[in-house]
């Protein structure tokens, strides 16, 4: 039981860390706030967001394989598959902003140019879609935990 509690706590900490960095990206990715420091910070936050996503995945896999219920129980649950699908969708949606943040940082370092407001708005939309999918994943987890 102690292992189950530790695995659950690690998974929750990883999820909360992911929330912090995704929220930070959403808050900073605004054309009216865009400056050199924000471009650099967005690139760093994106790296941390990626690390947090990997930690969520690894801690979830640890729960799947070493948890009390075992892989057989998890893979037989439809909500598990829905939750994992949405997590993968979030990961796929994060690729484009990652590439754009890197491009912005490269352009800033090369010539001091900041991104155009229209481009910032597009990237912000992509980040916001991810940030709106995350609570859906959490709600699915709550219903799943209650036996749906």
Q: Is 35 left (phi over 0), alpha (psi -120 to 50) or beta?
A: beta
Per-block mean pLDDT, blocks of 10 residues, the chain (148 long):
92 96 97 96 98 97 91 90 96 98 98 96 97 95 83
Q: Find where tokens 């990206």 sit.
A: 25
User: Could you tell me the fold of the domain covering 2-145?
Assistant: 1.20.120
Return the pLDDT at 24. Answer: 97
User: For the chain, which residues make up each domain, given as ranges?
Assistant: 2-145
Q: In 3D, which of 73, 71, 79 has the Cα closest to residue 140? A: 79
pLDDT of residue 145: 79
Q: What DSSP character marks residue 1?
A: -
- Residue 147 CA to residue 44 CA, distance in Å, equals 39
Q: At what angle do helices 2-28 and 36-66 cross, to 10 degrees?
A: 160
């Amino acid at each position: 039981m102690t292992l189950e509690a530790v695995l659950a706590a690690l998974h929750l900490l990883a999820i909360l860390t992911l929330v912090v960095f995704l929220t930070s990206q959403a808050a900073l990715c605004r054309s009216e706030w865009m400056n050199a420091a924000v471009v650099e910070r967005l690139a760093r936050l994106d790296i941390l967001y990626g690390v947090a996503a990997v930690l969520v995945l690894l801690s979830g896999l640890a729960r799947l394989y070493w948890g009390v219920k075992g892989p057989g129980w998890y893979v037989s649950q439809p909500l598990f598959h829905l939750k994992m699908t949405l997590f993968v969708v979030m990961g796929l949606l994060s690729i484009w902003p990652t590439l754009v943040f890197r491009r912005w940082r490269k352009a800033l370092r090369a010539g001091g140019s900041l991104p155009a407001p229209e481009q910032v708005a597009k990237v912000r939309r992509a980040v916001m879609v991810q940030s709106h999918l995350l609570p859906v994943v959490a709600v699915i987890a709550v219903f799943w935990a209650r036996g749906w």
